[in-house]
Amino acid sequence: MQFSLGNDWSRRLFVALCRRYSLNPYRYRRQRYTTVMLRAPESFLNETLWPEFLELDKTLIAYLNSITDRIIAEEIHGVVAEADEVSEPLELPG
């Protein structure tokens, strides 16, 4: 099966989880770095590996987001909110 993971953290987590179950994740030359190939029984993937990955990935992303917000707030700027959304393009001064 082919898995396309959205970011490097998720890819690294997925590869580590595969290896924990003695599976050999790989990718073909010229595939995107976030693509992981895996040969394993479909029932194991659907019932064990993928649900466990989704749960751990959700926890990892939440943890990384909280650390990122803390570092930004403490070291760069106290406001960590998203950029403002505007309805019209702003005019350039000139």
Residue span of the structural domain in which 49 resides: 2-76
In this prediction, residue 3 carries a pLDDT of 94
In a domain, residue 6? The reply is yes
pTM of the predicted protein model: 0.79
Average pLDDT of the segment spanning 9-37: 95
In a domain, residue 81? The reply is no
The secondary structure of 11-54 as a DSSP string is HHHHHHHHHHTT---B--TTS-TTEEE----HHHIIIIIHHHHH
In this prediction, residue 48 carries a pLDDT of 96
Q: Percent of the chain at pLDDT above 90?
A: 70
In a domain, residue 83? The reply is no
Q: Percent of the chain at pLDDT above 70?
A: 100
Worst-scoring range by mean pLDDT, 10-14, 56-60, 69-73? 69-73
